[in-house]
């Protein structure tokens, strides 16, 4: 009998705390009310929309806002993804180019960054550039470009796309 009374007393206290917890609100301004209730349709849509946006960003079906930048190194492009255009490169055959630095306030030293060349008009006759490295630093991405052509120097600008994951 004593256990039943203690359980009933505990249940009464929990119910009282639940009634007092009605100051919690969603971003839509709706307050949580004590007792069993269905979630308001607008609140459910807000929550599901946020979950769907995150899922789509992770699986790549929703593109992130992209920044763009161009010019001499360092090139500023602040965003979780972007596209930069370099100045004309003239790296000799089978050599590494000077590093290309992108200043990006989204990047941390622990970021995972992927980079790819997505525009170069003179492949073959103007060398064959490849990305040898895409290194994250605090506020920077350092691209290491190599000309892999056996005889031709690079001769043009590179378009480089990148994506940052924190």
Task: In whole angstroms, give the CA distance from residue 118 to residue 130.
Answer: 10
Are the C-beta atoms of 141 and 158 separated by less than 8 Å?
no
Are 44 and 85 within one domain?
A: no
Are 120 and 93 within one domain?
A: yes
Task: In whole angstroms, give the CA distance from residue 148 to residue 164.
Answer: 26
Are 18 and 71 within one domain?
A: no
**Does an H or E element contain 83, and which?**
strand 81-86
Give the pLDDT of residue 66. 86
Question: In the chain, how many domains are there?
Answer: 2
Give the pLDDT of residue 91. 86
Are 71 and 21 within one domain?
A: no
pLDDT digits (tens, 9 = 90+) for 94-145: 887 778 999 999 999 999 999 999 999 888 888 999 999 999 999 999 999 9
pLDDT digits (tens, 9 = 90+) for 40-58: 556 666 667 777 777 776 6
Are 99 and 46 within one domain?
A: no
What's the mean per-residue pLDDT of the chain? 79
Owning domain of residue 18? 2-59
Pairing of the two strands 67-71 and 95-96: unpaired
Are 55 and 73 within one domain?
A: no
- Of the three residues 59, 92, 107, the one that is the final residue of a domain is 59
What is the secondary structure of 126-150 as a DSSP string? TB-EEEEEEEEETTEEEEEEEE--S
Tokens of 159: 């378009």
Are 17 and 43 within one domain?
A: yes
Give the pLDDT of residue 22. 46
Are 91 and 134 within one domain?
A: yes
């Amino acid at each position: 009998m004593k256990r039943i009374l203690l359980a009933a007393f505990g249940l009464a206290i929990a119910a009282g705390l639940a009634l007092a917890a009605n100051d919690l609100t969603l971003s839509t301004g709706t307050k949580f009310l004590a007792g069993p209730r269905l979630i308001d349709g607008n609140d459910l849509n807000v929550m599901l929309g946020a979950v769907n946006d995150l899922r789509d960003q992770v699986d790549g079906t929703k593109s992130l806002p992209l920044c763009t930048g161009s010019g001499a190194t360092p090139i500023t492009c602040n965003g979780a993804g972007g596209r930069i255009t370099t100045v004309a490169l003239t790296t000799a055959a089978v050599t590494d180019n000077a590093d290309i630095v992108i200043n990006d306030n989204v990047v941390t030293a622990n970021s995972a960054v992927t980079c790819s060349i997505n525009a170069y008009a003179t492949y073959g006759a103007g060398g064959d550039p490849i990305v040898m490295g895409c290194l994250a630093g605090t506020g920077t991405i350092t691209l290491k470009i190599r000309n892999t052509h056996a005889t031709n120097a690079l001769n043009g600008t590179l378009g480089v796309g990148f994506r940052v994951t924190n």
